[in-house]
Amino acid sequence: MQPAFVLPRADASTLTITWIGHTTTLLQLGGLNVLTDPIWSDRASPLAFAGPKRFTPPGVDFDDLPVIDAVVISHNHYDHLDARTVSRLIARFPAAAWRVPLGVARFVRRKGASDIEECGWYATTQVGPLRFTAVPAQHFSGRSLFDRNATLWCGWVLSSKHHSVYFAGDTALNPSFSEIGERCGPFDAALMPIGAYDPRWLMRSVHMDPEECVAAVRSLAPGVTDTPLVLATHWGTFQLTDEPIGEPPRLTRSAWQGASLPSDKLWIARFGETRVVRQL
């Protein structure tokens, strides 16, 4: 779809969310423009000629981005921390603030970023009027055979005076969702992964399937009336695992309906689609 984010920035009382693909979104809240896990490269790989190839193009052309004020990274896997995209962003938006999990600051500093803070779980940091809180996730990290779990992984809660957004990043179902909801909620929106789940014996410990995503939402916001707008992420962009690339949204809709959650709160976005989220 044609993106409909606000140029150059949205009003501080407005929240817009634009799905670019995978877990890359453009968030406009608190009067700032924020990117999550940006990747514009053709492959989620250290190599330009091998590795998972992009199945669909980014929903927003890189050259059409507004001025980016902040970038949040959930962990250092190639489909979430893309070296070529990081370099492009730093060259174009040198003043952008980078908020990353413990151990990842060195990577973006080497690329030329200057405003960098790394956080452990439940640590908070500020960018202008926005508060960033790193929150737990069940996943892992590593970019080679020799650095597995040498850096942290996390989700993020972004809060302004008017809105709060939970970005889950990449995670398996785990008990932290209820704690995150209690400590950081309620949320106007939640960006939740639904793909890369088969085979379950291998992926269950690091990725949710659609049914588990719905269970996570119910833990995050136990009251049906508190259900945030849930943007389904981590599907349709890279073929990372065995399930058909179009299966996750179909199963998510079915699980959502089976849980009797409000139908208008599940957002299976088109690439480039923007929504304006009203305050809870």
* Domains detected in the chain: 15-277 (3.60.15.10)
Sign of CA dihedral 171, 50, 68, 280: negative
The predicted pLDDT at position 252 comes to 98
pLDDT interval class at 224 (50, 70, 90): confident
Percent pLDDT > 90 in the chain is 95
CB-based burial of residue 246 (10 Å sphere; 0-12 exposed, 13-18 middle, 19+ buried)? exposed
Query: Is the peptide bond between 186 and the residue preceding it cis, with omega within 30 degrees of 0?
Result: yes
Q: What is the pLDDT of residues 225-266, one digit of tens each?
A: 899 999 999 999 999 999 999 999 999 999 999 999 999 999
The predicted pLDDT at position 166 comes to 98
Check pLDDT > 80 for residue 180: yes
Find out whether 171 and 139 touch, Cβ atoms under 8 Å.
Answer: yes
Average pLDDT over residues 106-134: 98
Check pLDDT > 80 for residue 279: no
The predicted pLDDT at position 280 comes to 54
pLDDT interval class at 48 (50, 70, 90): confident
Check pLDDT > 90 for residue 223: no
The predicted pLDDT at position 100 comes to 98
pTM, full prediction:
0.97
Nearest-10 crossing angle of helices 247-258, 210-220: 50
Check pLDDT > 70 for residue 103: yes
The predicted pLDDT at position 21 comes to 98
Mean pLDDT over the full length of the chain: 96
Check pLDDT > 90 for residue 278: no
Least confident among 69-78, 118-127, 187-196, 220-229: 220-229
Q: What is the pLDDT of residues 131-160, one digit of tens each?
A: 999 999 999 999 998 999 999 999 999 999
